[in-house]
Amino acid sequence: MSIPHTTTSADVSSEAARRRTFAVISHPDAGKSTLTEALALHAHAIAQAGAVHGKGSRRGVVSDWNEMEQARGISITAAALQFTVGDVVLNLLDTPGHADFSEDTYRVLSAVDCAVMLLDSAKGLEPQTLKLFEACRARATPVITVINKWDRPGREPLELLDEISDRLGIHPTPLNWPVGIAGDFRGVTDPDTGGMTEFNRTPGGATIAVGQALDADEAARRHGQDWQRAAEEFELLAASGHEHDQEGFLAARTTPVLFGAAVLNFGVAELLRAVIELAPPPSAWTDVERQPRPVDAPFSGFVFKVQTGMDPAHRDRLAFMRVCSGRFERGAVLTNARTKRPFQTKYAQSVFGRERETIDEAYPGDVVGLVNAHALLVGDTLYDSRPVRYPGLPRFTPEHFAVFRPRDAGRGKQFRRGIELLDQEGIVQVLVSDRRGVQAPVLAAVGPMQFEVAAHRLEQEFGAPASQESLQYGVARRVAPEARAVVNRQRGAEVLERTDGVAVALFNDKWRMRTIASDLPAGSLPPMFGEDDGVGP
């Protein structure tokens, strides 16, 4: 006879305190996916790192499982990795690097407690980095900064700190300092010992680069002026108020800064230690009534991503759910706050890139993959016993529009099914109208690469190759019901309906939109972006 498992509030709080849930964000090509895999390598979650392009005998990065990602060497979908270091459970969410998929990145940032912001040592702050940081600032998410690619020629470290301070308005507090200029990376200072950690290369950076601890005298003997300069600059920074401030970091007023070279696995152990020691554990989530739900409250979870096609053999649909409170138990029947209907969690898995395994329990901060979750949408809340609903996620304002049609009329059913799933995943927004019909939906996107992904998946996953025709629209607005007919009669404008029922007016450009709006009642064309645009509560 089996004894039922009972979990107390203290058990849940203790398990939550062990979790660190964080995302890695950056501008494209800053080394984000390489760093993600290097962290997994140093945590001994994998035995050997792979390059993004999988050169030679090395496989592609674990987090880039999609065929297009592997071919292009960029991340276009979010991926979840979970591994344990000592007694700490790390939930790492790798985010899309390309700006066209910023909406997916925003969803991931809604599910984490901390972010690691990666900067290229030669380029510093880039446009996508700035946007991602602002998304973190909007949610008061603490940010750890890593200045990457120090093994290549780059800028002065003090110059990079000044840029972070001036352009982001956040106070940088270095946790270590590079020994050797960018392009001649010897190691980093160790503030705990007063010495340094010297890095030694491994073949291709495929295995852990073991750091050797040197005291100050040995560092001076081996590295001379490079060590002396690093030690003096780090000491001056500490004396001028650039020491780490944990309270300021958690309040998102300061950002700890580290230096590394992810492709060589240099500085990765230091970052891993910083995440474990500094990143906050899960805390209470705020519901739509602005009431915090403590981590030891009855179970609740938030669906921040839906993905199909991760397992080509089964074509299943996976919902990524962040556990917000309580203990998740596989097999529990939960309630979907949006539909009020029960949801059976018989098939629950932990996710490591594309690899998955069944799990029986999870705690606040963990990410659970719910298989065959056809009833779940992005932004859904699941709960047990005590009802709760968390704020939904906004849909970004699209700027690119294209009509998709099936090339083979006999594959119309597969085409419609594929379009429906792409819409539910948030890959694109789908707009329809009586004029165009369901076989010619208008796909709306933040960036044109989303159309490439949509076309690729329609053909590869659903066997429904599609043709696409770009539309000369560049501005989208919601439209009030009483203004729909008026707008639809105008030249250079068209009204369609999003699949969630939101009426969307498309205009050739902002000048055409303003001309038409001048003849309408005030408030007839509100902006698209916002939690109240049909996605949020």
What is the mean pLDDT of the segment spanning 138-163?
96
pLDDT greater at residue 82 or residue 44: 82
User: Which tokens sit at 211?
Assistant: 């750091």
To the question of whether residue 96 is assigned a binding role by annotation, the answer is yes
How many CA atoms, within 13 angstroms, populate the side-chain half-sphere of residue 139?
Answer: 22
- Look at residue 311 in the predicted model and tell me its pLDDT: 60
pLDDT, residue 314, reads 55
Domains of the chain: 23-278 (3.40.50.300), 285-383 (2.40.30.10), 400-517 (3.30.70.3280)
- Band of pLDDT at residue 48, cut at 50, 70 and 90: low
Amino acid 14: pLDDT: 97
The reported pLDDT for the residue numbered 524 is: 95
For the residues 350-377, what does the mean pLDDT come to?
88
Region of poorest pLDDT, from 137-146, 277-286, 353-362, 376-385: 353-362
* 95 known ligand binder: yes
At residue 293 the predicted structure's pLDDT band, cuts being 50, 70 and 90, is very high
Answer yes or no: is 97 a known binding residue.
yes
Q: Which residues pair with 234 in a beta bridge?
A: none
Give the separation between CA 506 and CA 512, rounded to whole angstroms. Answer: 10
Mean pLDDT of all residues in the chain? 87
- The answer to whether the Cα torsion of 175, 180, 186, 190 is positive or negative is negative
Assigned token pair, 252: 């998102």
pLDDT of residue 100: 65
Instruction: Tell me if 94 is assigned to a ligand binding site.
Output: yes
Lowest mean pLDDT among 221-230, 251-260, 310-319: 310-319
pLDDT for residue 531: 37
| Separation between Cα atoms, residue 294 and residue 406, nearest integer Å | 49
Give pLDDT, residue 315: 63
Q: Is 44 annotated as a binding residue?
A: no
Residue 56 has pLDDT above 60, yes or no: no
Residue 208 to residue 471: CA distance in whole angstroms: 50
Banded pLDDT at 106 (limits 50, 70, 90):
confident
Which tens digits make up the pLDDT trace of 374-410? Answer: 899 999 999 999 999 999 987 788 999 999 999 998 9
Instruction: Residue 421: name the closest of 386, 460, 447 by CA.
Output: 460
d(C-alpha 180, C-alpha 430), whole Å: 52
- Going by pLDDT thresholds of 50, 70 and 90, the confidence category of residue 63 is very low
Of the given ranges (24-28, 196-200, 341-345, 485-489), which has the lowest mean pLDDT? 24-28
